Amino acid sequence: MRISVYCSSSPTIDKKYQELAFELGEAIGARSWNLVSGGGHISMMGAVARGVRKSGGHTIGVIPQLLVDIEFADKDSHELQVVGSMRERKGRIEELGDAFIALPGGLGTLEELFEIWVGRFLNFHQKPVVVLDPFGLYDPLKTLIDHLEVEGFVKPGQRELLHWCTTIDQALDICGGR
Q: Where are the domains of the chain?
A: 2-134+162-176
CA atoms within 13 A on the CB side of 147: 6
Give the three-class secondary structure for 159. helix
d(CA 168, CA 89): 25
Report the pLDDT value the prediction gives residue 177, as an integer from 0 to 100.
Answer: 58
CA 46 to chain centre: 12
Say what angle helices 86-96 and 107-121 make with each other, to 10 degrees. Answer: 50
164 Cβ contact partners less than 8 Å away, ≥ 6 residues apart: 130, 131, 133, 138, 142
d(CA 141, CA 61): 28
What pLDDT band is residue 112 in, cutting at 50, 70 and 90? very high
CB 87 within 8 A of CB 64: no
Give the three-class secondary structure for 60. strand
Report the pLDDT value the prediction gives residue 153, as an integer from 0 to 100.
Answer: 96
Report the pLDDT value the prediction gives residue 54, as an integer from 0 to 100.
Answer: 98
pLDDT, mean of residues 141-166: 94
CATH classification code of 2-134+162-176: 3.40.50.450
Q: For 10-60, how does the pLDDT look when each residue is reduced to its tens digit (9 = 90+)?
A: 999 999 999 999 999 999 999 999 999 999 999 999 999 999 999 999 999
Residue 75 has pLDDT above 90, yes or no: yes
Report the pLDDT value the prediction gives residue 90, as an integer from 0 to 100.
Answer: 96
Please choose, from the candidates 69, 66, 26, the residue with its C-alpha nearest in 3D space to the C-alpha of residue 48: 26
Rounded to 5 degrees, what are φ and ψ at 154?
-100, 120
Residue 71 has pLDDT above 90, yes or no: no
Report the pLDDT value the prediction gives residue 156, as an integer from 0 to 100.
Answer: 87
Residue 118 has pLDDT above 60, yes or no: yes
Residue 178 has pLDDT above 60, yes or no: no
The burial class, CB within 10 Å (0-12 / 13-18 / 19+), for 74 is buried
Task: Find the length of the chain.
Answer: 178
Give the three-class secondary structure for 91. helix
Q: For 96-107, how does the pLDDT look when each residue is reduced to its tens digit (9 = 90+)?
A: 999 999 999 999
Question: How many C-beta atoms surround the C-beta of residue 174 within 10 A?
Answer: 17
